[in-house]
Amino acid sequence: MITSVELRIIVVLVLPASESMPLAGWVQSPGHPRGYDPDSSLNWTECAPAGLKTTLTLTHLDLEEAYDCENDFLKIYADGEVLFKLCGRKSTKELQTSINPFLHSSSGGCLFLSFLADYSNPVRHTGFRGFYTIQDVDECKDPENECTQRCNNYIGGYRCFCRPGYFLDPDQHTCRVNCNEDHTDSQEGVLMSPDWPGSSPENLVCSYTLSAKEGLQYEITFTGQFDVEMAANGQCKDSLTIKTLSGDETYCGNKRPPSPFISRSQHVEITFRTDDEGTNNGFRLRYKTIEMTCPGTVTENSRLIPNKSEYNQGSEIAVQCDEGHILNVKREYRSTCKTNGQWSLVIKCEPVDCGNPNLPDVTELTVEDPLTTYQKQITLKCTSEYYQMTGKGIFTCDASGNWVSESGQKLSEDLRRPMCEPVCGMNTEITVGGRVFGGKPATRGQIPWQLLHRSNPRGGAVLISDYWALTAAHVVDGFEDTTMIWLGGMVDAQDQNTVTMETKKIIIHPDFIKVGKNLEPDSFDNDIALIKMSARVPLGPNLRPVCLPNETIVEGLQGTVSGFGAWEKNTRSKRLLYGDVKIHPLHTCDSLGKTVTDNMICAGDDTGVDSCKGDSGGPFFYPRLKQNSADKPYRLLGLVSWGPSECGNKRFKGFYTKVHNYIDWIKETIAQN
């Protein structure tokens, strides 16, 4: 007797399939229906060809019941994944509702059964039985089959087809409207999207070709509603593109494109595209031919003479480049409007290129390989932390090809004032008190502007920039035509690891009374000289300039004097010594028979702190060591000039050249040399 379930399955068998493959059959446990023996097992596999699937209908299930089916079980796999692990007894209704609907493979997939009984079976169980079939897969029910309109299923596959008025794209899935139109030699007409003013069909690619005779162009005017789908982010989902020789313009949304649109080309291609969704209405436009004209621009960054918005055929104009742009051949050229709307001669106006600048010393670009054309900017910076920019350091490429600052200064010219000046008046050591004559030694970097001439004449100097130093005139008197070697960056006069500086020029103040080598003048008025080194001084933590004074001298002001001169018992010091002295009124200081002028400072200390022989030309600076701050640099008050022969005598004070009185002379001399 055939059950209702078995009868339904048998109907499937009449479907055509390959003769070499059975379309249906039974699978059952060993010994069914009498029952299976202990240690029984069965493995079964059935696969379907592409476009078909394997299905299984269990009609009977009676296995030993156990937790997690750990004794006897039936495992069912589809395409390598476990669908069920079954045991116990299930009714036909339970199998039909909760098991059988899921027992099938994918298209071209496989079903696999694994039956296993353990070593004992106290109660005899009949096992399982199922009916399998090879069935067709209805791909048309799959929403991912990509048919855009209609789908026809057949045994082993499916086919897409279209509604009337559409054709199937070569991709065999997309239905499109045949909406291509050729309007060659048409002088006027109307174009509209398919079904306008109704909703545009989906998946459209409509191409409208306009082609006029030479000497004519098209004027396009949009009329009626414009409704082309646009996404929320402003991107076009559907689009209308107008393509001419000069480029493409694409429109979407519900705002009508600007009209009239002048093609400036005798050929125009209009393309309308829609995606696979949306109910937008599309577009409508009118076109007509008009006489060809040429645009009011021949090339970018140029001007036309005469100047018009457009030109008729045959018009001849002069083309001149705008400021900051040049031609490779000449300043201007002439061009003629041709019948095709193009200019007979088009030469680009290229922007002026200032090129990579020749940078002043100790400066560099903040950005490597900057743009160097007209109106582009570059920014400079100092190459070392021991220099600071005197201005903003911003230069712009001008129309003449020069890099120019905001104030109009050209970077290519010799700058009166360096762009990067040394940071002055800063040291690198925390200091404690001390003395020159009988004082304590300085540490490295504590007085980095101190220079020393170690050989005869032994004396000091003060670094005021990366090329120039100041000293007392009597130290270098008679040595103007001699190359002197000065040392810096050390605190030990015998140190071999020093910075050596060779003089290029020695300029003694013109009002200093020269008396020659080893002779002492009656007056040390104007005892000041400038020294220019032959090469840039390599600045660093131990060799830095001091700042020039910017205010007048105040009596009672305390500063620091330093040098490698004599100290206790007039012994020449091997170390750089320093000490604090106070400025006294000139009339209170013993002049020792020499002429005292307002170009001098009298300073000393009641305890005997003093400068001494060998300190001449060295610095007297303020504030005192350890009293400066980052925003208050050390400044030069004076240069060690003259004093009593007995250093450290409390009755006498030392005299220093007042540097403040010579600021103008210093700056003018440096500028001229």
Residue 466 known to be catalytic: no
Q: Which residues pair with 208 in a beta bridge?
A: 181, 270
182 labelled binding-site residue: no
502: left (phi over 0), alpha (psi -120 to 50) or beta: beta
> CB under 8 Å to 405, separation ≥6 — which residues?
391, 392, 394, 395, 396, 411
Strand 284-291 versus strand 188-192 pairing type: antiparallel
Catalytic residue among 104, 125, 474, 660: 474
Taking CA atoms, 295 is separated from 299, 334, 401, 473, in Å, by 10, 15, 30, 77
477 labelled binding-site residue: no
350 labelled binding-site residue: no
229 labelled binding-site residue: yes
Strand 181-184 versus strand 205-211 pairing type: parallel
Print the SS3 string covering 250-277: EECECCCCCCCEECCCCEEEEEEECCCC
d(CA 579, CA 573): 14
Tell me the one-letter amino acid at 264: R
d(CA 72, CA 122): 12
Catalytic residue among 105, 302, 616, 641: 616
d(CA 129, CA 9): 14
d(CA 454, CA 493): 7
CB 99 within 8 A of CB 56: no
d(CA 115, CA 128): 9
Tell me the one-letter amino acid at 289: T
DSSP 145: S
End-to-end CA distance of the chain, in Å?
127
Alpha helices in 477-563 (DSSP H): none
CB atoms within 10 A of CB 357: 18
**Strand ranges (DSSP E) for 105-215?**
110-116, 127-136, 150-154, 157-161, 166-168, 175-177, 181-184, 188-192, 205-211
d(CA 451, CA 498): 10
d(CA 199, CA 237): 15
DSSP 631: T
d(CA 214, CA 225): 32
By the 10 Å C-beta count (0-12 exposed, 13-18 middle, 19+ buried), 556 is classed as exposed
Residue 186 known to be catalytic: no
120 labelled binding-site residue: yes
CB 300 within 8 A of CB 374: no
Tokens of 285: 């436009």
Structural Rg of the chain based on CA atoms: 51
550 labelled binding-site residue: no
Task: Select from 209, 204, 131, 133 the least CA-distant residue to 166.
Answer: 204
Catalytic residue among 62, 466, 525, 527: 527
Tell me the one-letter amino acid at 208: Y
d(CA 96, CA 58): 8
72 labelled binding-site residue: yes
DSSP 445: T
Residue 60 known to be catalytic: no
Catalytically active residues are 474, 527, 616
Provide the annotated binding site for Ca(2+): 64, 72, 118, 120, 136-137, 139, 153-154, 157, 229, 238, 275
Provide the annotated binding site: 64, 72, 118, 120, 136-137, 139, 153-154, 157, 229, 238, 275
